[in-house]
Structure 1
Amino acid sequence: MRTVIGKLAIMDIQRDLNYQYGWTRTIMKYIGIWPEERKWNRPSSYVVLIPFLTMMCFVYAPQTINLPFIIHDLNLVVENLSMATITFTISLMKIVAFWMNGKSLRSLLKCIAKDWATVETKTGRETMINIARITRKIMIGCSMMCQLVVTLYVILRLIFMEYDDNKMFVRGYYPYDTTISPNYELTLIGQAIAGTYSSIIYSSVDTFIAMLILHACGQISNLKNDLREIHSYDKIDLRTKLMKIVEKHNYINRFAETIENCFNIMLLIQMLGCTVQLCFQSFQAIMSDGGKSEQYMIFRITFISYYVVCAMMQMLLYCYVGERLTFESTDIAETAYDCEWYNLPPEIARLLIIIMCRARASPLKLTAGKFCWFTILLYSQVVKTSVSYVSVLYAIKS
């Protein structure tokens, strides 16, 4: 009987985990970056080389090599940096960051499974389910939004090739003749596959990190619920319950700090890249002229605007989860202050001051290379900086 109950409990936990991050796990396993144990004799450990080499050989390296040849033309430089180079640089960086931190990420996933297995109250479980529901919507929405960017870009490029001297999806330097068949067709297919890989990596890594942060926020909410109800316990159990609360607080802090240590450098590069990318994309939208394809220019401007919105949404996602994490961790002090501490024994009530000081003195943050932390204020500053760069580029162009 105990064996049956244990199996049912494991099935329930697996169902909850699948609901929380099953979408991202499927995608990441497809491109070979899901954090799992890797061995030299296991074929799945080398799947990541396929997207890495595809992006490197068909887009990133050719565009980077081509950059010195077009440095005299501002429009071509902006096109090079905005449409592929910066995006592929960030995607390749995310692969490396995820691969290097596989062990830490596996430990975080084990912590999430443990949290689902050890949740004790109905309120706590409802909180975790609500967080999982929000996470799932973010994962599916971001993935579809980024894939739509690639689909629209391919369709528009196929239309504009008739009026453009560039007959490829992205302009680059290749060590072979791309004007003859089948080199031309194979290069186009390689570029399309590389773009698909880039969008998958770009969105899946962002949503995975957002999932980890939101899970930490859910655990902080459960911790605050325990603090609110601490006065309802017997005096004999008060010290034990308070000890569990302190241990839970330390556990959540370690969880969030592990995320921060794994990805803060990656987030710094992404924030800087997104700032420059927003600048170049906005500049492209402003400076777009019709030329021979004037009748299609509305579609080009619409696509660039959608591309800018997608880049801004990815940045907004980090700023949202970062601000929520900081708010939730700081709010522990307010919760401890608002609980019915006056009905507790004096020695227990005094211990709450330590929790309040810890929450106020060291709030949890998601930072960009330890230089700044992600908040809605940072998002507004990034947008403002991008707009100012657009003005400078427009002045140079004029």
Structure 2
Amino acid sequence: MHDRSRKQVADCQENFNYEQDINYTLKMCQWVLKTIGMWPLIYNRTSKLEKLVSIGLLITCFSCLLFFLIPFLYYMFSENNGKVKVKLIASVIFCLACTMKYCFLVLQGAGFKRCILHIERDWRTVNNPNHRNIMLRHVNISKNLNILCAAFLYTAGLSYHAIIPLLSKGKAKANSTGKSLAYPVYDPFFDTKSSPTYEIIFCIQFVTGLIRYSITLGAFSLAVLCVTHICGQIQIQISRLENVIRNKKDKHSDRNAFAIIVRDHAEILRFSKNVEETLGQICLTQIVESTLVICCLLYNTLTEWQNRNMIAVSTYSIYLISFTFNIFIFCYTGEILSEQCSQIGPASYGIEWYNLLPKKAYNLVLLNVVSLYPPKLMGGKIIELSLNTFGAVLKTSVVYFNLLRTLADW
């Protein structure tokens, strides 16, 4: 039934700039996801060589994450100094959350593939220049958010994994070797002060950091891409509704316009449902991770401020801004998704529906009713992502921060 309705009202024309537009839309996601071997899992048009390289990257990334995580957990349980544990616990939580998100990305590859195919189909069938400009405007919003997220993540990561250890090495005059690592958790297993062990572990920690930031940015870019695409499609439906009155003299055009609006609105709701199911576990992991990591970063920033280590304070501050920005955008995308999908109802009421024939005006009732129950972006079907959730995350982080200060001093 669904396929027959699509054939009856499908547009005959196609977007001649389809390939250029879809490449522009997916370029940011493609760059990030290729580095962690995820792109061939969610995109059909990849060669066998790319799939083989993807398998190798998946194995390499998981190996690096486990090589980092297992010694870290052993070090945390064997360390007796509570302040050292508190200082390093944020890294453990971040690495564990990134490993979980990486697993969810792999397991939800089929769901992301359906999302990408839906986006491609929308770009292929858009033939109105104004509608294409609306979609391009939302793609630019997605790209700008990705650039901001990448700038915060990789700047903080470069500082923490490279600059701080190298400066610590230069200041360690009393030490005969003067070699320092971002995470001194391999001492029970290796002689990290000798060469080339130090250089190998330093490089592995740096690469593992890049993998974790790429996983975080990859999940972020997919979520923003899907939600901004939905927002663009909703704006297109509102634009079509406004054009109904202008073309009311053409009976056939009027009937076909209503059919296209109802069909595409149903497609948007199906796409939103698919996005919610695909991103659910990742969003829940992001909420829990951000709550705990922001708490630990607040404590580390305060500790380094008391120690007058301004480089560490700057690094932790950038980390804090990055994690706050990430969870804000996740919650804001959920808020925008619900808000945009609910706008179709007021938009259908705001047009001059009273100038339509009563029989045709009844077609707007369905849009009004459906808009009363907009789709929501849920974290594991437990927590709704909204600005209220963002406020709750910050409040909970501050509460945990005060508790952590009390326990660490005790």
- Asked if TM exceeds 0.5, the reply is yes
The 2-side partners of 1:125 and 1:40 are apart by 33
Q: What does residue 19 of structure 1 align with?
A: 24
Among candidates 53, 64, 73, match of residue 63 of structure 2: 53
TM-score normalised according to structure 1 size: 0.90
Q: What does residue 299 of structure 2 align with?
A: 283
The 2-side partners of 1:380 and 1:325 are apart by 18
Q: CA deviation at 1:73?
A: 2.7
Q: CA deviation at 1:189?
A: 1.0
RMSD between superposed Cα atoms in Å: 2.2
Q: What does residue 172 of structure 1 align with?
A: 185
SS in 2 for 1:315: helix
**Do 2:15 and 2:123's aligned partners in 1 also have CA atoms closer than 8 Å?**
no
The 2-side partners of 1:79 and 1:14 are apart by 48
Q: CA deviation at 1:258?
A: 0.8
Q: What does residue 3 of structure 1 align with?
A: none
SS in 2 for 1:395: helix
Q: CA deviation at 1:145?
A: 2.1
Amino acid at match of 1:205: A
The 1-side partners of 2:305 and 2:114 are apart by 52
Q: Aligned pairs, how many? A: 382
Amino acid at match of 2:87: E
Asked if residue 390 in structure 1 is aligned to residue 401 in structure 2, the reply is: yes
Asked if residue 141 in structure 1 is aligned to residue 153 in structure 2, the reply is: no
The 2-side partners of 1:79 and 1:230 are apart by 61
Query: CA deviation digits over 1:80-118, x for unaligned, max 9?
Result: 221x21221222222211111222212211211211121
Among candidates 261, 269, 279, match of residue 263 of structure 1: 279
TM-score normalised according to structure 2 size: 0.87
Q: What does residue 62 of structure 1 align with?
A: 71
**Do 1:39 and 1:45's aligned partners in 2 also have CA atoms closer than 8 Å?**
no
Q: CA deviation at 1:140?
A: 2.2
Q: What does residue 133 of structure 2 align with?
A: 126
How has the CA–CA distance of structure 1 residues 49 and 40 changed in structure 2, closer, same or farther, with 3 Å as cutoff? farther
**Do 2:86 and 2:408's aligned partners in 1 also have CA atoms closer than 8 Å?**
no
How has the CA–CA distance of structure 1 residues 326 and 394 changed in structure 2, closer, same or farther, with 3 Å as cutoff? same
Amino acid at match of 1:193: V
User: Pairwise mapping of residues 37-116 of structure 1 onto structure 2 (< 5 A)?
Assistant: 37=44, 42-46=51-55, 47-57=57-67, 59-70=68-79, 72-82=80-90, 84-116=91-123
Query: CA deviation digits over 1:333-366, x for unaligned, max 9?
Result: 1001111111112122122111111111x21211
SS in 1 for 2:362: helix
| Unaligned runs of at least 5 residues, structure 2 | 1-13
Q: What does residue 5 of structure 1 align with?
A: none
Query: CA deviation digits over 1:251-307, x for unaligned, max 9?
Result: 11111111110111121121011101000110111233666xx5xx12211211111
Q: What does residue 355 of structure 2 align with?
A: 343
The 2-side partners of 1:43 and 1:394 are apart by 48
Asked if residue 240 in structure 1 is aligned to residue 259 in structure 2, the reply is: no
The 1-side partners of 2:269 and 2:208 are apart by 38
Which stretch of structure 1 is more off in the superposition, 224-233 or 212-221? 224-233
How has the CA–CA distance of structure 1 residues 289 and 315 changed in structure 2, closer, same or farther, with 3 Å as cutoff? closer
User: Pairwise mapping of residues 287-298 of structure 1 onto structure 2 (< 5 A)?
Assistant: 287-288=303-304, 294=308, 297-298=309-310
Amino acid at match of 2:379: A
The 2-side partners of 1:243 and 1:11 are apart by 24
The 1-side partners of 2:76 and 2:313 are apart by 24
Amino acid at match of 1:326: S
Q: CA deviation at 1:68?
A: 0.9
**Do 1:51 and 1:197's aligned partners in 2 also have CA atoms closer than 8 Å?**
yes
**Do 2:93 and 2:293's aligned partners in 1 also have CA atoms closer than 8 Å?**
yes
Q: CA deviation at 1:396?
A: 2.3
How has the CA–CA distance of structure 1 residues 289 and 142 changed in structure 2, closer, same or farther, with 3 Å as cutoff? closer
Amino acid at match of 1:160: S
How has the CA–CA distance of structure 1 residues 289 and 135 changed in structure 2, closer, same or farther, with 3 Å as cutoff? closer
User: Pairwise mapping of residues 208-357 of structure 1 onto structure 2 (< 5 A)?
Assistant: 208-231=222-245, 232-233=247-248, 234-288=250-304, 294=308, 297-357=309-369
**Do 2:138 and 2:228's aligned partners in 1 also have CA atoms closer than 8 Å?**
yes
The 1-side partners of 2:337 and 2:167 are apart by 45
Q: CA deviation at 1:240?
A: 2.8
| Unaligned runs of at least 5 residues, structure 1 | 1-8
Among candidates 30, 37, 40, match of residue 35 of structure 2: 30
Q: CA deviation at 1:391?
A: 1.3
**Do 2:295 and 2:400's aligned partners in 1 also have CA atoms closer than 8 Å?**
yes
Amino acid at match of 2:52: P
The 1-side partners of 2:157 and 2:54 are apart by 27
**Do 1:33 and 1:95's aligned partners in 2 also have CA atoms closer than 8 Å?**
no
The 1-side partners of 2:111 and 2:279 are apart by 11
Which stretch of structure 1 is more off in the superposition, 335-344 or 85-94? 85-94
The 1-side partners of 2:179 and 2:194 are apart by 14
Amino acid at match of 1:302: S
Amino acid at match of 2:85: V
Q: What does residue 9 of structure 2 align with?
A: none
